[in-house]
Amino acid sequence: SAGPGRPALLQTSVDLNESSRICARRVDVKGHQVHTGAVYVTIGHAPVRASSGDADYFVRFIDNLLHQTSPGGAWSSFFPHERDATQARYRRAKAIYERIAAEARAQAH
């Protein structure tokens, strides 16, 4: 197991046939614990394209952020003075992911 001065190393291979982003997550019985930044892999100069499932995940994630930061939500006390501005940013991000999901669904057909 990892600890100070004792890193954990993971070696794996991933077969990719299209440009992608890759990240690593550590999950335990309590759920999501750690998430690395993404590494972007470009194949044939093609851009990374999101799947509708990925975009839909972020729409749901942002819905949860909006719920949790609303009055009565578990994180409502985190934004005593900037809730409206923060939630406006979340809503703008949600609109972007909704558009990405729609574009991905259209490309799949």
Name the pTM for this structure.
0.63
Same domain, 61 and 109: yes
Residue 101, CA distances (Å) to 21, 25, 67, 75, 105 in order: 17, 23, 21, 27, 6
Residue 72, CA distances (Å) to 30, 59, 68, 90 in order: 23, 21, 8, 18
Same domain, 78 and 34: no
Same domain, 59 and 38: no
Q: Domain count for the chain, please give it.
A: 2
Question: Which domain covers residue 104, as residue numbers?
Answer: 50-109
Structure confidence by residue, pLDDT tens digits, 46-101: 888 878 999 999 999 999 999 999 999 999 999 889 999 999 999 999 999 999 99
